[in-house]
């Protein structure tokens, strides 16, 4: 099992990888996939972010950039430290 950061929300996403995973592959163990756009660019997105892309047209790199601009990066305990005092 490997993980890769989502290009939109930046959370670590588990992905199935390697020959061993082929034998017990399941969608529960994979939380994202590489999205290949028509312009040839590639993004790795978790399924949650992928669902937020427009589904009536082919998504473009601009759509991914827009979605990223609307999405706050997921940070572990990112705020508590800065709000003391």
| CA gap 47, 35 in Å, rounded | 10
- Contact stretch for Zn ion (CB under 5 A) within 18-26, 42-50, 58-66, 75-83: 42-50
Task: Assess 67 for contact with Zn ion (CB under 5 A).
Answer: no
Q: Which is nearer to Zn ion, 72 or 77 (CB)?
A: 72
What count of other Cβ atoms lies within 10 Å of the Cβ of residue 55? 9
54: left (phi over 0), alpha (psi -120 to 50) or beta: beta
Q: Count residues binding Zn ion (CB under 5 A).
A: 5
Part of the chain binding Zn ion (CB under 5 A), chosen from 4-12, 23-31, 35-43, 53-61: 4-12
């Amino acid at each position: 099992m490997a993980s890769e950061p989502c290009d939109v929300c930046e959370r670590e996403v588990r992905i199935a990888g390697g020959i061993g995973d082929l034998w017990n592959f399941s969608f529960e163990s994979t939380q994202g996939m590489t999205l290949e756009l028509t312009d040839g660019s590639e993004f790795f997105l978790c399924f949650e972010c992928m669902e937020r892309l427009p589904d009536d047209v082919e998504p473009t790199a601009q759509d991914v950039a827009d979605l990223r601009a609307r999405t706050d990066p997921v940070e572990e305990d990112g705020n508590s430290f800065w709000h003391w005092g």
